[in-house]
Amino acid sequence: MCIVKLLQGDCLELMKKIPDNSVDMILCDLPYKETGNKWDKRFVLDKCLQEYERIIKKDGCIALSGTFRFGVQLFNLMPHLYKYDWVWEKDNGTNAPNVNYQPLEYMNTYIYSERVE
């Protein structure tokens, strides 16, 4: 039986209440301050990733979407958990501020896990 529990709020505050090694999967598209949109603000990434490492189960998966530049930041903070990338090729480009210049035609998702493959 699959049990899904969704929480809404400030993730850094909510994660403090989550027990260690209790989460099967973290799937997130964090803000990485590259779109120019008002909501896309710089995020305290290192604190967030520390909480992710604390709450994820030993056989759990952390999947984080973002640009290549964001992926480099992730890798530099968690090289010991990096497994591989997924690439989602999009039919229509996105990134509205750059639609006439350089629309995004794909999205990277970076996979992190302690699981041995």
75: which 2 tokens? 């890798």
Query: Domains in the chain, start-ordered, CATH in brackets?
Result: 21-112 (3.40.50.150)
Q: Two tokens at 28?
A: 């997130």
pLDDT value of residue 2: 74
pLDDT for 103 equals 56
How does pLDDT run across 43-96, given as a tens digit for each residue? Answer: 678 899 999 999 999 999 999 998 888 899 999 999 999 999 998 877 765 555
Amino acid at 32: Y
Bigger pLDDT: 38 or 109? 109
Strand partners, 27: 63
Residue 45: what pLDDT? 86
Exposure pattern of 5-44 as b/e (b: 16+ CB <10 Å)? Answer: eeeeeebeeebeeeeeeebeebeeebebeebeeeeeeeee
| Half-sphere exposure at residue 96, Cβ-oriented, CA atoms within 13 angstroms | 3
pTM above 0.75, yes or no: yes
The predicted-structure confidence for 1-15, as pLDDT tens digits, reads as follows 778 888 888 888 999
